[in-house]
Structures are given as C-alpha cells and as structure tokens.
Amino acid sequence: MSLEVKEKTEVRLVFLGAAGVGKTALIRRFLEDSFEPKHRRTVEELHSKEYELGGMKVTVHILDTSGSYPFPAMRKLSIQTGDAFALVYAVDDADSLETVKTLREEILEVKQDKCTPIVVVGNKSDRSRDERKVSGDEVLSTVELDWNSSFVEASAKENENVLEVFRELLQQANLPSRLSPALRRRRETFPKDNGARPPMNKTNSCTIS
C-alpha cells in the first residue's frame, strides 16, 4: 500500500547562533538585498513571504532568533515549531562555533529526531586569512561526515552564497521542487555547485527514497 505524500504549503526556517554572527544580515540580504554593517540586537523577528507556484501558494516563514538574550523557553518553542534550521557562526569567532555545537544538541534533544534538517553556516567568509579563526575544511568534515548535515560558508556583506544557504534549507525542508524556479525568477540564479566540495557521507543518510 502506497501512502500519498501531501506537498507542504508552509515551512518555517529558524536561524540560530551566537550574538553578532550575522543571522539578521543573512536574512536581510536574502529578503531585501541590503546590508547594514552596524550590529543591532534582535530579540525575535518573524518574516513571511508568499510565493505563487503553479496555482498553489507556498508560505516561507523565516524566524530570526536572539543571540544576545538568554530565553531558553522561547528558544525551545522556536525549535519545536521549526521545519529546518540554520546554525550560524562567524569564521572569525571560534566561540561562536562552539555555540553552534551546543545548539545542534539542543535541537536534536527537542526534536527527538537525528534527521532534523540542519544547515551550518559559516558567515563572514570575506574576512582575511589573518582574521579567520575557524577552518572551513575542518567544519565541512565534521558537519557533512559526522553530523550528516549541510555546510555553507557565506558572506552577507559581499552577498556570497546567501542564496545557497536558503536553497539548502528549502530543499531539506522538502518544499515542492517548483519553489526553486520561483525564487530564481524573483532573485538572481542560485549559485551552482562548483564541484569543489567532497561528497557527503551517505552511510547514515536520513534521505528516504
């Protein structure tokens, strides 16, 4: 007996990470194609965008969470209601990567599902080699091989790989494939994989075919 899978018409993407890593900057770059260099503390902001896809409306909710204020109950609720998660750190802040590791454990504990869609984002990739404190290669290995999640380095300031971050989130959230062309029409074409990244380890893959 085959079960009919109903396509999602709503999805909630949750951005988590330490203060100042650029969660708001990534979201603003995606939604408005703008960048504000001054850091502004966020308590919690929800952005919603609706897309018309072949007669079907798909709503994307993007939750921007606080990295400055300790609200465990609010964060737990954000995790409970999220469909896919962006765990953001800054490549010039090693402590922010440790925060990502803690947040991942919290997500897995709350969701009780090791296959929860997670994209780890190393923001501020425009930083110089001297400023960088986190090796992208090491994070890539941990995230894709050990965690079986996706990893993207991005720069909200330079608008590098920002669309890639959202493409990964939407794909993992199992939105209809028709959403990608809609996003491409609205913005520029999503960056194509340059083939430089090693293949993900599928030994413990959560993908169901």
Q: Which two tokens stand for residue 46?
A: 């929800």
The three-class DSSP label of residue 49 is strand
* pTM of the predicted model as reported, rounded to 2 decimal places: 0.79
Q: What is the pLDDT of residues 26-79, one digit of tens each?
A: 999 999 888 887 767 766 889 998 877 556 788 999 999 988 666 788 889 999
Q: What is the pLDDT of residues 65-86, one digit of tens each?
A: 988 666 788 889 999 999 999 9
With a cut of 80, say whether residue 173 has pLDDT above it.
yes
Report the pLDDT value the prediction gives residue 209, as an integer from 0 to 100.
Answer: 37
Burial of residue 17 (number of CB atoms within 10 Å: 0-12, 13-18, 19+): buried
With a cut of 50, say whether residue 175 has pLDDT above it.
yes
Distance CA 66, CA 75 (A): 9
For residues 84 and 113, the answer to whether their CB atoms sit within 8 Å is: no
With a cut of 80, say whether residue 130 has pLDDT above it.
yes
Could you give phi then psi for residue 147, rounded to 5 degrees?
Answer: -90, -20
Q: Is the four-CA dihedral 108, 85, 49, 42 of positive or negative sign?
A: positive
| DSSP 8-state secondary structure symbol assigned to residue 59 | E
Q: Which domains does the chain have, with CATH numbers?
A: 10-186 (3.40.50.300)
